[in-house]
Structure 1
Amino acid sequence: MSAYRRFRDRLRIGPVQVATYYDARGRDMHTAACTAPGCGFSADYTSRAAAELAARTHRCKA
Protein backbone atom coordinates (compact mmCIF):
# COMPACT_ATOMS: atom_id res chain seq x y z
CA MET A 1 0.00 0.00 0.00
CA SER A 2 1.47 3.34 -0.99
CA ALA A 3 1.65 6.34 1.29
CA TYR A 4 -0.77 9.19 0.67
CA ARG A 5 1.12 12.47 0.70
CA ARG A 6 -0.38 15.89 0.23
CA PHE A 7 2.34 18.16 -1.08
CA ARG A 8 2.37 21.89 -0.44
CA ASP A 9 4.70 24.80 -1.09
CA ARG A 10 5.84 23.43 -4.44
CA LEU A 11 8.71 24.95 -6.41
CA ARG A 12 10.16 23.99 -9.78
CA ILE A 13 13.91 24.33 -10.44
CA GLY A 14 14.59 23.19 -13.99
CA PRO A 15 13.15 19.68 -14.37
CA VAL A 16 13.19 19.10 -10.58
CA GLN A 17 10.22 19.81 -8.34
CA VAL A 18 10.71 20.57 -4.64
CA ALA A 19 7.76 20.20 -2.26
CA THR A 20 6.96 20.01 1.45
CA TYR A 21 4.78 17.38 3.12
CA TYR A 22 4.09 15.80 6.52
CA ASP A 23 5.53 12.32 7.06
CA ALA A 24 3.80 9.50 8.97
CA ARG A 25 5.03 10.94 12.28
CA GLY A 26 3.72 14.43 11.57
CA ARG A 27 7.11 16.03 10.86
CA ASP A 28 7.75 18.46 8.03
CA MET A 29 9.70 16.72 5.28
CA HIS A 30 10.91 18.07 1.96
CA THR A 31 11.35 16.17 -1.27
CA ALA A 32 13.13 16.80 -4.56
CA ALA A 33 12.00 14.78 -7.59
CA CYS A 34 13.08 15.02 -11.22
CA THR A 35 10.23 15.03 -13.74
CA ALA A 36 12.35 14.27 -16.82
CA PRO A 37 11.34 11.06 -18.58
CA GLY A 38 13.55 8.13 -17.60
CA CYS A 39 15.50 9.97 -14.89
CA GLY A 40 14.05 8.50 -11.70
CA PHE A 41 15.79 10.88 -9.23
CA SER A 42 13.93 11.58 -6.01
CA ALA A 43 15.07 12.12 -2.43
CA ASP A 44 13.60 13.18 0.92
CA TYR A 45 15.25 15.72 3.21
CA THR A 46 14.58 17.18 6.65
CA SER A 47 15.41 20.75 5.58
CA ARG A 48 14.08 22.79 2.69
CA ALA A 49 17.55 24.20 1.95
CA ALA A 50 18.95 20.70 1.40
CA ALA A 51 16.13 19.80 -1.00
CA GLU A 52 16.62 23.02 -2.99
CA LEU A 53 20.39 22.46 -3.13
CA ALA A 54 19.82 18.94 -4.47
CA ALA A 55 17.47 20.35 -7.10
CA ARG A 56 19.96 23.02 -8.19
CA THR A 57 22.88 20.59 -8.48
CA HIS A 58 20.99 17.66 -10.06
CA ARG A 59 22.12 16.62 -13.53
CA CYS A 60 19.94 14.20 -15.50
CA LYS A 61 21.52 11.17 -17.07
CA ALA A 62 18.51 10.61 -19.33
Structure 2
Amino acid sequence: MPLPNRYRRVIRIGPVKVATYYTRHGVDRHTAACTAPGCGFSADYRDRAAAELAARTHHCSA
Protein backbone atom coordinates (compact mmCIF):
# COMPACT_ATOMS: atom_id res chain seq x y z
CA MET A 1 0.00 0.00 0.00
CA PRO A 2 1.55 3.34 -1.03
CA LEU A 3 2.24 6.03 1.53
CA PRO A 4 0.19 9.23 1.32
CA ASN A 5 1.89 12.32 -0.07
CA ARG A 6 3.03 14.81 2.56
CA TYR A 7 2.89 18.21 0.97
CA ARG A 8 5.00 21.10 2.21
CA ARG A 9 5.55 24.69 1.10
CA VAL A 10 1.96 24.98 -0.14
CA ILE A 11 1.05 28.30 -1.76
CA ARG A 12 -2.01 29.43 -3.66
CA ILE A 13 -1.81 31.39 -6.92
CA GLY A 14 -5.34 32.25 -7.98
CA PRO A 15 -7.35 29.00 -8.01
CA VAL A 16 -4.17 26.88 -8.33
CA LYS A 17 -2.28 25.41 -5.38
CA VAL A 18 1.44 24.71 -5.72
CA ALA A 19 3.17 22.30 -3.31
CA THR A 20 6.38 20.32 -2.85
CA TYR A 21 6.53 16.67 -1.84
CA TYR A 22 8.91 13.70 -1.79
CA THR A 23 8.28 10.72 -4.06
CA ARG A 24 8.55 7.21 -2.65
CA HIS A 25 12.15 7.21 -3.91
CA GLY A 26 13.01 10.31 -1.87
CA VAL A 27 13.11 12.73 -4.83
CA ASP A 28 11.66 16.25 -4.55
CA ARG A 29 8.72 16.89 -6.88
CA HIS A 30 6.49 19.91 -7.26
CA THR A 31 2.85 19.85 -8.19
CA ALA A 32 0.34 22.40 -9.43
CA ALA A 33 -3.37 21.61 -9.09
CA CYS A 34 -6.41 23.76 -9.84
CA THR A 35 -9.05 23.79 -7.11
CA ALA A 36 -11.87 25.21 -9.23
CA PRO A 37 -14.89 22.90 -9.50
CA GLY A 38 -14.89 20.92 -12.73
CA CYS A 39 -11.45 22.05 -13.92
CA GLY A 40 -9.30 18.96 -13.30
CA PHE A 41 -5.91 20.55 -14.08
CA SER A 42 -2.95 19.07 -12.22
CA ALA A 43 0.67 18.40 -13.18
CA ASP A 44 3.96 17.37 -11.58
CA TYR A 45 7.23 19.17 -12.27
CA ARG A 46 10.91 18.74 -11.38
CA ASP A 47 11.37 22.47 -10.69
CA ARG A 48 9.42 24.66 -8.29
CA ALA A 49 9.69 27.54 -10.76
CA ALA A 50 8.01 25.47 -13.48
CA ALA A 51 5.10 24.60 -11.19
CA GLU A 52 4.65 28.25 -10.20
CA LEU A 53 4.80 29.34 -13.86
CA ALA A 54 2.11 26.79 -14.73
CA ALA A 55 -0.04 28.14 -11.89
CA ARG A 56 0.38 31.74 -13.05
CA THR A 57 -0.46 30.98 -16.69
CA HIS A 58 -3.33 28.52 -16.07
CA HIS A 59 -6.79 29.51 -17.31
CA CYS A 60 -9.72 27.34 -16.30
CA SER A 61 -11.83 25.99 -19.13
CA ALA A 62 -14.69 25.13 -16.77
User: How far is 1:9 from its partner?
Assistant: 0.2
Q: Which runs of 4+ in 1 moved over 2 A?
A: none
CA deviations over 1:18-52 (Å, ceiling 9, x no partner) = 00000111011000000000000000000000000
Quote the RMSD (CA, aligned, Å).
1.2
Aligned residue number for residue 23 of structure 1: 23
Aligned residue number for residue 32 of structure 1: 32
Q: Under a length normalisation based on structure 2, what TM-score does the superposition of the two structures give?
A: 0.95
5+ unaligned residues in a row in structure 2: which ranges? none
5+ unaligned residues in a row in structure 1: which ranges? none
Query: In the aligned structure 1, how far is the partner of 2:24 from the partner of 2:15?
Result: 27
Aligned-partner SS, 1:33: strand
Aligned residue number for residue 48 of structure 2: 48
Q: Under a length normalisation based on structure 1, what TM-score does the superposition of the two structures give?
A: 0.95
Query: In the aligned structure 1, how far is the partner of 2:4 from the partner of 2:51?
Result: 20
Aligned residue-pair number: 62
Residues 1-16 of structure 1: pairs in structure 2 closer than 5 A: 4-16=4-16
